[in-house]
Amino acid sequence: MDIRVEVADLANYSARAIIVNLFEGVRRPGGATGAVDKALDGAISQLIADGEIKGKLNELTLIHTFGKIPSSRVLVVGLGKQGEFSLDKVRDVSAVSLRHLRKIGVDSVATIVHGAGIGGLDPQACAQAIAEGAVMGLYRYQKLNKSSEEQAEIRELTLLELDAGKAKAFRSGVERGRILAEAANYARDMANEPANLLTPTAFAERARQLAADADLECEVFERETIENLGMGALLGVAAGSVQPPKLIVLRYMGAPDNKKTLGLLGKGITFDSGGISLKPANNMEEMKGDMSGGAAVISALWALGKLRPPINVIAVVPASENMPSGAATKPGDVLRAMNGKTIEVINTDAEGRLILADAICYARSLGLSPIIDVATLTGAMAIALGEGATGFLTTDSDLADRLIKAGETAGERMWQFPLIEEYRESLKSEVADMKNVGPRYGGAITAAQFLHEFVEDTPWAHIDMAPTDHVDKNKGYLVKGATGIPTRTLVNLVLALADKGRTKTKAK
């Protein structure tokens, strides 16, 4: 879809449909909505008076213009209560209204920048939010569905503004929003892909393609190199699968004179059966998305390659299947990680922390700091938070604050959990340096404490995205299936860290 910004009057613009908006409780529309209402001889005002249009959030009312204005349809979208309006609601409004118009076969749409006027929000941020909502809200995974070839698509979205001075800022906002949303959609595509198609090998190839498109360095380590590195935890998880493991490394070096490099690590289990500790059959098909953390990290690096901030970032994604077979790691087996620590495997379904342990060791060997790992790690985190937030734990209070802020900017709520020191005791083993699981209660925290053993004194944050990686139905700009969370949060965080570094450099 092409998203443009033009200096023009909405009421006199020709498109298959135009979108205007209305806050809840407004009786007489003003601004662009008022101008369109006047051109339609008060049709919008009459529907408000009749009680058909109330302005409630995401309320949609379609009006046919019958030649009174150049566009053939007007869609009035409710913005809800003005005092509660936010950029995330701009994303939702954009997604919901465009999906409705796509459904009825509209292929070209024009609109104003919602929230930039009476909404009181930053105009450039609003333009970015509209682009994010449009690109993410219209997302469909349609690679394997033949009927999707016959479905209509919106090919053109135009944002209109009468003030030529604002157009440049709008275009900048649209471009950033498009890149962030496309990154999230790349993560969605990978997570929605069936596991027989997105094997570790195919996952690595997808990373290579995105790296090439964004001018990133990409290196994929094969089994022999993984063995030479001593990554026994990753190899132990991969032992039960006929698919060979991979270690995917992407490099974005936007500040070559700066020796400091951030590490983004992502869990890349392309299918998780649980291994010998087999999962229940119910909903096991969703375990094709157990590489969502890795997909988010790879996609975030693609976005950074497009945005080119002055910062260095290396992504490390260990990729494997977790399958049961005669060769699979068994409960009670002991694995040796890259740093030499031995791990007694109590539950083979706690495999994500095993592959991340080796990824963390590798990241530390490169001197990456801080290290941020992203994983669909525990059901315990999903039980604790439901679908409303992504949990994280960290050793760095400044990083925590920045992560929460980055999530707020993206509309992806991040919630900090305590890294309770006493829980490390539950990971002690009688036959190895540690166990891979502790007791049932506090499972998200003990999982983080397991990873903490490998991070040691490096500044670190662990993002457990299990609550938010998937939705069961459309919800605003989140479409049924993989969400792409927290791709945009990661990008926002890196951009904020790059700005922090730029400010420090200027101060010197």
List the one residue out of 135, 138, 136, 85 whose CA is nearest residue 114: 85
Residue type, 442: G
Phi, psi of 201 (to 5 degrees): -65, -45
Q: Please, which residues bridge with residue 165 across strands?
A: none
- The token pair at 193 is 């892909």
Sign of the CA dihedral running 425, 426, 432, 433: negative
The phi and psi torsions of 42 (rounded to 5 degrees) equal: 80, 20
Catalytic residue (choose from 223, 279, 336, 424): 279
Query: Is the separation of the CB atoms in 160 and 9 below 8 Å?
Result: yes
Separation of alpha carbons 150 and 438, rounded Å: 51
- Which amino acid is residue 235, in one-letter code? L
**Is the distance from CB of 39 to CB of 28 less than 8 angstroms?**
no
368: its two tokens: 């990456």
Rounded Cα gap, residues 93 and 99, in angstroms: 10
Contact 402, 427 (CB under 8 A): no
> How far apart are alpha carbons 233 and 337 in whole angstroms?
5
- Centre a 10 Å sphere on the Cβ of residue 327 and count the other Cβ atoms it contains: 11
**Which one of 89, 99, 188, 353 is the catalytic residue?**
353
CA torsion sign, 12 to 40 to 87 to 156? Answer: negative
* Per-residue CA distances from 491 to 99, 406, 436, 486 (Å): 26, 8, 31, 9
232/240 Cα distance (integer angstroms): 14
Locate 365 and state its tokens: 């060997």
**Under a CB-based contact definition with an 8 Å cutoff, are residues 393 and 417 in contact?**
yes
Six-digit token string for 336? 């040796």
**Tokens matching residue 222:** 């094969």
CA proximity to 479, closest of 115, 133, 57: 133
Q: Is 306 a catalytic residue?
A: no
CA 426 to chain centre: 33
Q: Are 392 and 463 in contact (CB under 8 A)?
A: yes
Q: Report the C-alpha gap between 423 and 435 in whole angstroms.
A: 12
Decide: 232 and 342 in contact? Cβ < 8 Å: no
- Report how far residue 335's alpha carbon sits from residue 144's, in angstroms, rounded to the nearest whole number: 39
208 is catalytic: no
Give bridge partners of residue 481 from the DSSP assignment: 471
Catalytic site positions: 279, 353
